[in-house]
Structure formats: structure tokens, C-alpha cells
Chain A
Amino acid sequence: MGGNLAARNAQIDPFPGLVEAYGFVPNLFGLQKKLPRVIEAEQRLIDVIVVRESGLSRRMKDSLFRTVASARGNDYCRALHARTHPNKGEENPALIAFANKLAKHAPWVGKHDVEALRAAGFEDSLILETVLIVALGQLLCTLANALRPNLDPGLPLPAPIESSDLLEPGEHFETMGPYLQPHSQPAADFEPYAFFREQFGFVPKLFQEQMLRPDVVEAESQTLAKVLLPEDLLSRVAKEHTVLLISAANRNTYLVAMHSQILATLGVPPEDSNQIVEDHRCAAISPAEMALLDEVRKLACCPAGGEAGFDPVPLRAHGFSEPQILEAVAMAAVVNFLNTLQAGLGTTPDFPPRRVFTRKDLYPSSGPSRLISDATSPDDPDAAIVVRVQDGDTNAFEELVRRHSRRVFGTLAGLLGNLDDARDVTQDVFLKAFEHIGRFQRRSKFSTWLTSIAINTGTELLRQRKPLESLDEGEEEAEFRPRQIQSWADDPEQALAASQRINLVREGVLRLPEKYRVVVVLRDINQDSTEEAAAALGLSIPAVKARLLRGRLMLRESLAPHFIRREKRSPDAKLR
């Protein structure tokens, strides 16, 4: 059977490496045919890790792949690697146990696990190979979990691998590496290092620690070149957000630190990256990207409990094309690959991490009550009602709408300028909040979370209407110098009727650039605190203060002609 398939695929398929590895082109890769560069990257990794002869036999490698597939509950990948089984005496329980722990509980893997392998007689080269196979197994399982290929013909579904080490780990040991002995570094012109320096500005330690296998490092650099870097489908920043989100879900301090730094070099402020790490649903990103992150989050090695599987339907509804969806899935698979490598090698961060996942983060949720933890926002007056709604009491949501419609409307009216639009979009915001309230973890106040939804929804509407002015925390424009420097009347309210004043203020606010307007709306119209505004916008407190001052000064400038004291001008006034 395998021979016939091989003959068929060798004639028609442009990916001979896959035929060499599996005897045919598995459905898993056929489903990605709209994105050949990604298949090329996967094929290259499979070639160097699976096909190339090394210390572990192919039968042992398949056994490790099946271990990973069993740990992830993925029947397709179990079947794909079921053709060979280790000969008697070749199967090694120590390697299987290590692979199982790395696949299922990567954050718990520590130096003692690697030392146990050494004590069982495994050299660093075999340990590295095992880590690579588990990482590749995670990549393949991620693809299969998302794309759900049909079982390939002729491959029987094997029985799951039973392991004595499937229990939840009870203790946490030292996880600081590196676990493998340092290896001599390559010549200065080693191409993958040149690639990392050019793309990232440095050579991440994660790759330096694999230099026992320079061919693998080269394949990994090519994978990043083909999956992470191209911007013809998804933007680089959206892909970097995927790295942050999945790495945070996998509790991987190393990858979060590394890609926060990379995002900083791309001009994304640390606060924005932090928001993706802590709670992407409060991040200042478009609804489309929010939907993308919602779905790829489900592909993490450590997905949140009780989540449904990856679903492309909401992504199509947001206008994502099939190649874009495939690229997002491939990106998630590569992130799980890198996360697993780091956990297996114990690589320490290249940069001081802003977010360190601690022992507390490692212990998984034991149930819904876990949501109410010391990490939730204290003093939220809405907390009790939110809990009722999360427990299924739809009617309780009515009170939340009543309490917050003025705030949401004020935010949207200030942002959009049109009161009728604001009224309509206010309803949409509450519907979105209701839809997603199950995922609201109460790390911020409900009102802050709701405001961030209002801002996302309002800015998305503006984006559809006109080219978007960025809300990002990028460089502020050059210093703002007030030009209207004549004294105002002592009682300027008397200068104009209330209705005229209201119109002037409204027009002045609407003329502000969006990044300043939204801060003025939150602080001066909604009267949120600086901290609340910063949380809702995903900005730092200094950034909010700077924008608020700039917005107020600009608004002052536009109001000044109507309120200056006409009878006593100060012709000599000027800034020093």
C-alpha cells in the first residue's frame, strides 16, 4: 500500500521530502497547498529532524511522535507515525517519559529531567534530538488540531500509548538552564546567524544552544523566513502578537521576552505587547485581529480549559482569506515548536523579561472558582453582577447595561462625533460584551473592559470610513507650542449661550487627532482616572498623561478665539 502511494505521489507532488519521510504526501500537508512556502518550511524541518540519519532510529522517532500525539489527544498524528514500532530492546521508557512530560507539561520540565536522561546513558546529542522531535510533534499536532485532516488511506488508528507518567506533576523544580553543555559557536559567516542578526538584531540563545545540529538551526531560520517574515498575507505585527499570545498561554517567559523585544524594534511599545500577554481582549487592536487571536489562542499547547477547538468560521466572517487562516495556523504551530524547544533546553531569556511566569502561573485552573483569584480587580462595584451573568443569569446583564450606557455612549459619541451612530454602536458594544463576558477574567474593572470594547468598536468603524490615524503609543509629534496666548475673560461662560458653548466644545473635541481625542473623551468627558484610561487603551500612564495634556492644549487653542478678553489684549505676550 505504502509503495503504491509513494509511486503516485512521486509523480504528482512537488514535495519529495514529504514522500521520503512518509512514503506519500499526508493529507495534513495537502490541506495547506494554498500556502506552498509553509509546506516547504515544514518539509525542511521534517527532513533534518526525521529523515536525516542520526542517533535515534526512525522507529524510536515514530514512537516519540506517537507519545506527543497521545499527550495532545491527536489521533491523526498518532496514525501518521504508526507505521513503525521499536524493536524489542530498542524502546526506551526514560525517553518516552521525558517526551511525554515535555509534550504535556512543558513548563514543569527542569534540569533534573535532563539529568535523569544523562544518568540513563543519553548524550547531549540524543537529548537534543528528543527535544527536537517533541517540538516537531507539537508543530504537527497543532496543524492537525486546526486543519482536521482525514486519516490517510491505509493507516490504521493505533491504540493510544499508555504511560505511567501521565499524572499531573505535583512538584516544581528548578527550570533554569541551559541544560545541555555549551557547544562551540560557528564561524562568523554562518548563514543562519547572519539571518538572525539582520532580522532580530541578535542571535537568540535558543538557537545558539542547538549548535550540536547546525543543519537544524539552518532549517529553523528558513522556517522563520518563510512563516514569520512574509507580509503578503498577515502583517508582521499580527504574527508577532500570535507569538506573544501563544507563548503566554504556554507560560513561556523566554519567548515572551524575546518577541516583546522584537516588537519593540518594530516600533510597538512595551505596554502594548504587555497587554497582549496579560489579556489580549483588552488590547487596542482591531476586531478582526481580536477574532484572529481568539482562535489561535485555542491552538496553544496549554489551551485554556473548556475552550472549543479552533474554528475558521469567525475568521472568514471577518474577511480573512484561506491563505491568511492557513498562515495563522502555521504561525501557531511554529510558536508551539519554539516554546517546546525552549522548555526542553532550559534556555534563559536573552533580555530581562518584563513578565516572568512564576510557579503560581504554572498551576492550572482547578475550575470556575479559580477565576476569582487575588489577580482580579478589587473594588469593582459590578463584580457581583458580572459573576451572575457569567453563571448564566442573562437578566442580570440588564443592570450592567443600565449602569454603563451613558459611559459607553459618551465614549462613542466623542470618538465618532455622530450621536445617532453612537447610539447604535452603544448597543453593539453591549452585545459584544455579553457574548464575551464568559472570558472576562476580572483582572480589570468591568467598566474598563467595557470601555476598551467601545474604543475597539468605535475605531473599527472609523477605520471603515477613513484612513486610520494610529492609536499606537508611537513617537509623539514635535513639541506643541500654543499660539493663542491672550488672556481669557474671567467668566467666559457668559460670553456665549450654553448651547453655543456645547457646540464649540463638541466641534473642538471632534477636530482633535484621534489619539488625543480618545484620551480627552475618557478623562474629561467620562471622567475616568488616568489609570482606568491607560488600562482601557492599553497605554502606559505617562503616555496617557502626555496625550491628555496635548489634547487639552489643542482644544484650548480652538476655543480661545471665542473667549479671549477683547478689551485688554496683551500684545507683547510670547513664549520664552
Chain B
Amino acid sequence: MLSCAEFLAEFGDYLEEAASPEVRASLEQHLHECKTCQVIVDSTRKTIRFVTDCDSFTLTADQVEPIVKDVMKRIREKKP
């Protein structure tokens, strides 16, 4: 069976549901027996959910138009 270190090195594709059937089977075998790695997988999934769902780094729709206008104004000013 995989060690935890081997599991942690390989489970990136598993999180993305992109692991091959063989890799997936061996990772799940380890998970079935390892409470610690279950915790790590669960909490990493929740971490990804936080990052993808949070609007920490996004512009609101009304913030986009001023940028568009400023950029185009600067481009037109630069053009000979």
C-alpha cells in the first residue's frame, strides 16, 4: 500500500478527477485505511472551494467600464 508521502505526492490529479483508473484505485485504497489523508483530502477540497468561490480578487461589473474607457483613452492619445 502507498505511504502517506507517496499519497501526497500523487493526489493532485485525484483532486481534479484526472487520475488514471490504476492511480485512482491505489490512492483510494490508501484513503480507505488512512484517516489522516482523508482529513487532508477533505480540507484541501474545502480550501479549493473557498478560493474559487471567493471574490477576493475580482472586479465588479461597474469597475470594468472605467478601466476600458481609461485604456482606450490612453491608446487613442498615444496614436499619432
Contact = CB atoms under 8 A, between A and B. Distances in A.
B72 A401 contact: yes
Interface in A172-200: none
Interface in B4-54: 4-5, 8-9, 11-13, 15-16, 34-37, 39-40, 42-44, 46-48, 50-52, 54
B36 A573 contact: yes
Given A398-B68, A405-B68, A482-B8, A434 B51 contact: no
Given A410-B57, A431-B74, A487-B42, A555 B47 contact: yes
Contacts of A398: 68, 72
Contacts of B47: 552, 555-556, 559
B60 to A, nearest CB: 9
Nearest to A544: B12
Contacts of A434: 75
A398, A406, A492, A574: residue with the most chain B Cβ atoms closer than 10 Å: A406
B30 to A, nearest CB: 9
Interface residues of A, number: 58
A401 B56 contact: no
B64 A405 contact: yes
A426 interface: yes
B8 to A, nearest CB: 7
Nearest to A409: B59
Interface stretch (A132-140, A456-464, A499-507): A499-507
Interface in A511-552: 520-521, 524-525, 527, 530, 545-546, 548-549, 552
A504 B40 CA distance: 19
A398 B68 CA distance: 7
B5 A397 contact: no
B67 A509 contact: no
Interface in A137-190: none
A575 interface: yes
Nearest to B30: A576
Contacts of B54: 501-502, 505-506
Interface residues of B, number: 44
Nearest to B35: A573
B62 interface: no
Contacts of B48: 524, 552
A573 B67 contact: no
Contacts of A479: 5, 8-9
B50 A397 contact: no
Chain A at the B interface: SS class:
helix
A485 interface: yes
A575 B42 CA distance: 15
A419 B71 CA distance: 17
Nearest to B2: A576
Given A560-B43, A570-B35, A524 B58 contact: no
Nearest to A414: B57
Given A482-B8, A556-B44, A520 B51 contact: yes
Contacts of A394: 75-76, 79
A427 B51 contact: no
A449 to B, nearest CB: 17
A98 B37 CA distance: 69
Contacts of B37: 575
B68 A553 contact: no
A488 interface: yes
Given A427-B67, A431-B71, A555-B51, A521 B36 contact: no
B50 to A, nearest CB: 5
A552 B44 contact: yes
A485 B39 CA distance: 6
A443 interface: no
Contacts of A413: 56-58
A413, A427, A503: residue with the most chain B Cβ atoms closer than 10 Å: A427
A553 B44 contact: yes
Given A431-B71, A492-B46, A527-B52, A576 B35 contact: no
A426 B59 CA distance: 11
A524 B56 CA distance: 12
A304 B55 CA distance: 43
Nearest to A546: B12
Nearest to A480: B8
Contact of B51 (A431, A525, A563): A525
Contacts of A556: 40, 43-44, 47
B27 to A, nearest CB: 13
Nearest to A527: B52
Given A482-B40, A492-B46, A576-B34, A524 B51 contact: yes
A429 B8 CA distance: 37
B4 A576 contact: yes
B70 A427 contact: yes
A213 interface: no
A402 interface: yes
Nearest to B5: A479
A282 to B, nearest CB: 21
A545 B39 contact: no
A235 to B, nearest CB: 32
B57 A521 contact: yes
Contacts of B64: 402, 405-406
18 contacts: A409-B58, A413-B57, A414-B57, A419-B57, A431-B75, A484-B43, A485-B39, A485-B40, A502-B54, A504-B50, A506-B54, A506-B56, A525-B57, A552-B44, A552-B47, A553-B40, A555-B47, A574-B36
Closest 9 CB pairs of A and B: A549-B12, A413-B57, A506-B56, A556-B47, A575-B4, A524-B51, A488-B43, A430-B71, A410-B57
Interface of B: 3-5, 8-9, 11-13, 15-16, 34-37, 39-40, 42-44, 46-48, 50-52, 54-59, 63-65, 67-68, 70-72, 74-76, 78-79
